[in-house]
């Protein structure tokens, strides 16, 4: 497993999965693509298919309907696939933890490798989280 993780060198392909979020974290993730922050200069590329992804940027507190979709998508993701929980909801469900309709947080359903708290975390924080994780993995 560790050898494969070390192979994540050049471009990190990131898949964005929103599970019952208020969309703030999602917009901040997309904001990271804009010229002001420009994800791509770190070699981070947002992709449209889970089958191509190295990293899942996961947002939201996960409703039951979203949990169903998450399980299916995670199965399709080529392993190793790292999951980064972006935002308080993804990290711990936050204010939605007592809700009757929530199945989360993410680490209850899939392994999570990094947590980026914030409501929402700024694009800088998101980029830093992804870069930090990859650097840590490269070290082994």
Partner 1 sequence: MAKTIIPVGPYHPLQEEPEFFKLLVEGEKVVDVEIELGYNHRGIEKIAESKSYDQVIFLVERVCGICSTSHPIASVNALEDLGDIKVPERALYIRSIIGELERLHSHLLWLGLAGHFIGYNTVWMWAWRYREPVLDIFEKITGNRQHYAMMKVGGVRRDIESDDIPEIWKMADGLLPVLDMFRGAVMDDPVIHARLKGVGILTKEDVFAYGAVGPTARASGIAIDVRKDDPYAAYPLVDWQVITQEEGDVFAKAVVRILEMYESVKIIKGCLDKLKVVGGEIDAKVKEIPPGEGIGRHEAPRGEVFHYVRSDGSNRPVRYKIRAPSYMNVPTNQKSVVGGTVSDATITLAAVDPCYCCTERVSVVDKKTGKKRLTGQDLIKLSQEKTFRLRSRGLE
Partner 2 sequence: MAEEILARIKDKFSTRILKVFEKSPHRIYIDFDSKDIPKVANFIFREMRGRLSTVTGIDTRRNIELLYHFSFDSSGTIVSLRTLIDRDNPEIESVTPVIKGAEWIEREIHELLGVDFINHPNLKRLLLFEDWPEGKYPLRRE
Q: Are 90 and 47 in contact (CB under 8 A)?
A: no
By the rule CB under 8 A, 108 interacts with partner 1:
no
Residue 74: other Cβ atoms inside 10 A = 19
CB of 63 to partner 1, least distance (A): 6
By the rule CB under 8 A, 24 interacts with partner 1:
yes
By the rule CB under 8 A, 95 interacts with partner 2:
no
In whole angstroms, what is the distance from residue 61 CA to residue 15 CA? 17
Of the candidate residues 34, 71, 111, 138, the single one contacting partner 1 (CB under 8 A): 34
Q: Are 25 and 121 in contact (CB under 8 A)?
A: yes
Beta bridge partners of 18: 59
The SS3 of residue 120 is coil
Closer to partner 2 by CB, 66 or 86: give it: 66
By the rule CB under 8 A, 106 interacts with partner 1:
no
By the rule CB under 8 A, 109 interacts with partner 1:
no
Where do contacts with partner 2 occur on this chain (CB under 8 A)? 63-65, 68, 100-101
């Amino acid at each position: 497993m560790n050898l494969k993780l070390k192979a994540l060198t050049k471009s990190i392909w990131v898949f964005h999965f929103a599970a019952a979020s208020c969309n703030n974290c999602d917009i901040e993730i997309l904001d990271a693509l804009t010229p002001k922050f420009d994800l791509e200069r770190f070699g981070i590329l947002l992709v449209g298919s889970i089958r191509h992804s190295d990293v899942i940027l996961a947002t939201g507190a996960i409703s039951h309907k979203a949990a169903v979709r998450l399980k299916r998508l995670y199965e399709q993701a080529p392993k190793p696939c790292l999951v980064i929980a972006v935002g308080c909801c993804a990290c711990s469900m936050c204010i939605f933890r007592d809700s009757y309709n929530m199945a989360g947080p993410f680490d209850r359903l899939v392994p999570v490798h990094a947590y980026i708290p914030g409501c929402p975390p700024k694009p800088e924080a998101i980029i830093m989280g992804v870069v930090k994780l990859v650097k840590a993995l490269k070290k082994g």
